Amino acid sequence: MTAHSLISGLPLTLVLSLMLTGGATAQVRGSTVLTLSDAPGVNILKVTLSAVGIEDQQDSTLSGTVEATLAIDPATDQVSQFTLTSGDVTATDMDFSLLGGLIADVSLSGIEATLMTSSEGLVDPATGQFDGAQHQVTLNQGTISGTSIAGAVDENFSQNPVSGAGSGTGTVAITRTATEGNIVTYDILVVLPLDFSNPLQEGVEVLVEATIQMEGSIEVPLDPYLGWTEMNGISEAPFEGDHDGDGIPNGLLWALGYSANDRPELFIPDLFFPGQVDLFIDPGPDGTRAPIIVEGSYDLEEWMLLDPFQIWGFENPVPAGEIWPIVLTLSGDRSFTRLRVVKP
């Protein structure tokens, strides 16, 4: 699809949206529900109440489920991203007594928590290891009450949530258990260490330590594009084809995160500075599904990667999972721009 535009008196910027194919593996993003394991030695919240050098440690059993999103390469059975999107975790009640209650006599009850990912959730594909600090637990329900040497203790986590990050190195392991047609099934095992502290009162501190283990399974397509065509009722439609004749190739619709029947407007022009054109490309509601390569040309014959400094985010290719608009900053010279996606 070639669009000819004359923008605010500039000579013109010609924009070409083109789909090319090639051979490459592609990561597939999928979501699933993981359950906290009841295996021995894991999902035990070790909580220590400490004051004036005296400690009391109690154990609480964790249970519940979390929702997670993984980026998986079915060609290698490796994970490159693990993100916790929500969770519903509960902990059994605990009672603490320091020096027979003379220093502190405190109870924790009705504890509920969420597990979330605070950053990108990157995983080393070769080892399955990740930085535990990318994820955090937040106590958002329950109370801690009683007395201590500093006075009455009365905290409500629904009013004042307490958060702590993971620690050390976590791991995510997937095991292929079945392949049927274009669908592959994996078992998932995730281990996330926790270690953080929170001051309760002056001179009184709560220390939290745990190894959270989550288990579940996930189904993803071996060929993500083929899976998309099946879900959209255009099974095996050619990657470079245009099933509805709207000028946007099927593969580009898929990669940008749209459904087959969507009609996105690509290369929306805007001017912020004289002599400069900004082009906006909005991804679908869940972000891009594959890397988007942005190329430029002056003659439609020689194509070169667009300088990343001309793309907001400074990445070319624009990575999969991008939810923000792709903004291209171009000069007012006559030129061509195209988006290229490699067929998985």
* 194 or 278, greater pLDDT: 194
Alpha-carbon distances of 275 from 3, 11, 34, 272, 333, rounded to whole Å: 19, 10, 52, 9, 9
Tens-place pLDDT, residues 171-181:
999 999 999 98
The pLDDT value recorded for residue 202 is: 75
Region 181-206: mean pLDDT is 87
Tens-place pLDDT, residues 324-343:
888 888 766 677 888 889 88
Region 49-56: mean pLDDT is 76
Region 200-226: mean pLDDT is 88
Tens-place pLDDT, residues 306-325:
999 888 888 999 988 888 88
Query: Cβ atoms within 10 A of the Cβ of 178, count?
Result: 11
Region 25-29: mean pLDDT is 71
The pLDDT value recorded for residue 125 is: 95
Residue 112 near residue 88 (C-beta atoms within 8 A): yes
User: 282: which 2 tokens?
Assistant: 């909005």
Tens-place pLDDT, residues 75-99:
899 999 999 988 889 999 999 888 8
Angle formed at CA 146 by CA 143 and CA 150, multiple of 5 degrees: 115
Region 137-156: mean pLDDT is 85
Residue 1 pLDDT exceeds 70? no
Residue 9 pLDDT exceeds 80? no
The pLDDT value recorded for residue 313 is: 85
Region 14-43: mean pLDDT is 73
* 18 or 270, greater pLDDT: 270
The pLDDT value recorded for residue 344 is: 80
- Report the sign of the C-alpha dihedral through residues 199, 201, 202, 204, in that order: negative
279-282: long-range contacts (C-beta < 8 A, 24 or more apart)?
Answer: 279/13, 279/15, 279/327, 279/328, 279/330, 279/337, 280/325, 280/326, 280/327, 281/256, 281/325, 281/326, 281/327, 281/328, 281/339, 282/325, 282/326
Q: pTM for the full model?
A: 0.74
Residue 16 pLDDT exceeds 60? no
The pLDDT value recorded for residue 131 is: 96
The pLDDT value recorded for residue 20 is: 52
Identify the band that residue 120 occupies on the pLDDT scale cut at 50, 70 and 90.
confident
Residue 14 pLDDT exceeds 70? no
Least confident of 119-128, 151-160, 200-209, 214-223: 200-209
The pLDDT value recorded for residue 332 is: 61
Cα 258 to the center of its chain, rounded Å: 18
Residue 289 pLDDT exceeds 60? yes
pLDDT more than 90, % of the chain = 42
Identify the band that residue 184 occupies on the pLDDT scale cut at 50, 70 and 90.
very high
Domain boundaries, the chain: 2-21+239-340, 28-221
